[in-house]
């Protein structure tokens, strides 16, 4: 069998997916340990039986819906290729908007302290550490397995990241850390809705399930803000597409602060931004 024939068979096997051609090429390239351009330039090369067995096994995994990132073990986020495993949520393009806002807010900062709550793969924390090497970055997660992935990504991109195990902002408080920027991409999908989504079949539910209304984790984090944020610190929270008004009200009720709800490219609510100020006595 030639590379060209393998690509054609792969496209047929994945024809029910959104991008069968691209997925087939990426899986072939991964199996053969070459770049996609190599496939196109050497499409007449023959494959031996062991090579095809590896390719077919990967195609079968993708055909039943397993995310490409888990099969290849890698996913691009912003300008970094990150390692991912089923222990962590696959980084989404929408979260890049939160990162861009974080980099904008911290532009020029030389000694700022930043926290990434619920770091998962470390996508936000590693990216901030990479782009703002003068900042001290803490990455927190309840999952030991997730922290191991974040540690590998920090090493892969030669960044300095302090990894802390614990619930929400607890580890920051326990270590006496006060931050100038707090980022959090917490689970925000309502439990009942999650059960109907394909994403729940492969990605860790603890990284997706936001409780009955999707706001359980955000509701628990907000009262911890005064304990770990310095005066004037910025807070960025990713939210669901219809949660802007509810989160705005939570920030008002729990912190007596106003916040901005910022949209994604489709115009849906995507994250909130506010600046922590201690209430006047």
Kindly report, residue by residue over 197-224, the tens digit of the pLDDT. 988 899 999 999 999 999 999 999 999 9
For position 40, what pLDDT does the model report?
83
For residue 166, give every residue at least 6 positions away whose Cβ sits within 8 Å of its Cβ, in sequence order, or none.
140, 142, 174
For position 281, what pLDDT does the model report?
40
For position 5, what pLDDT does the model report?
93
**Taking a C-beta distance cutoff of 8 angstroms, is the pair 221, 184 a contact?**
yes
In terms of residues, how long is the chain?
281
Q: Which residue has the tokens 């939570």?
A: 250
Considering the segment(s) 3-65 as one domain, its CATH architecture is Orthogonal Bundle (1.10)
First to last CA, the chain: 77
For position 224, what pLDDT does the model report?
97
On whether the pTM is more than 0.95, the answer is no
Tokens of 171: 């580890």
Cα 225 from Cα 274, distance rounded (Å): 11
Residues forming CATH 3.40.50.150 domain(s) in the chain? 86-275
Instruction: Report strand pairing: 269-275 vs 229-238.
Output: antiparallel
Residues forming CATH 1.10.8.10 domain(s) in the chain? 3-65
For position 279, what pLDDT does the model report?
67
Check residue 36 and report its DSSP letter: H
3-class secondary structure, 211? coil
Spans of the chain, pLDDT less than 50: 280-281
Residue 179, beta-bridge partner list: 229
For residue 143, give every residue at least 6 positions away whose Cβ sits within 8 Å of its Cβ, in sequence order, or none.
87, 88, 120, 204, 206, 207
Tokens of 246: 């509810």
Cα angle 14, 20, 23 (rounded to 5 degrees) comes to 100
Q: What is the mean pLDDT of the chain?
A: 94
**Taking a C-beta distance cutoff of 8 angstroms, is the pair 101, 107 a contact?**
no
Considering the segment(s) 86-275 as one domain, its CATH architecture is 3-Layer(aba) Sandwich (3.40)
């Amino acid at each position: 069998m030639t590379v060209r024939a393998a690509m054609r068979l792969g496209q047929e096997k994945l024809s029910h997916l959104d991008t069968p051609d691209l997925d087939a090429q990426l899986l072939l390239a991964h199996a053969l340990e070459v770049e996609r351009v190599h496939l196109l330039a050497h499409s007449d090369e023959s494959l031996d039986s062991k090579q095809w067995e590896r390719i077919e096994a990967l195609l079968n995994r993708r055909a039943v819906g397993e995310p490409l990132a888990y099969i290849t073990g890698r996913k691009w986020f912003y300008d970094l290729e990150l390692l991912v495993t089923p222990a962590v949520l696959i980084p989404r393009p929408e979260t890049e908007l939160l990162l861009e806002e974080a980099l904008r807010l911290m532009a020029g900062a030389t000694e700022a302290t930043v926290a990434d709550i619920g770091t998962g793969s470390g996508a936000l924390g590693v990216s901030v550490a990479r782009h703002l090497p003068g900042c001290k970055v803490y990455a927190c997660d309840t999952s030991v397995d997730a922290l191991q992935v974040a540690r590998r990504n920090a090493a892969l991109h030669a960044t300095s990241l302090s990894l802390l195990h614990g619930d929400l902002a607890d580890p920051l408080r326990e270590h006496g850390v006060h931050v100038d920027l707090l980022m959090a991409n917490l689970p925000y999908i309502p439990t009942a809705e999650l059960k109907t989504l394909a994403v729940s079949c492969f990605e860790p539910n603890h990284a997706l399930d936001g409780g009955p209304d999707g706001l359980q984790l955000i509701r628990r984090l907000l009262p911890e803000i005064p304990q770990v944020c310095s005066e004037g610190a910025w807070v960025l929270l990713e939210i669901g597409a219809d949660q802007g008004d509810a989160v705005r009200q939570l920030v008002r009720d729990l912190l007596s602060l106003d916040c901005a709800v910022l949209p994604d490219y489709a115009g849906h609510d995507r994250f909130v931004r506010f600046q922590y100020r201690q209430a006047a006595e």
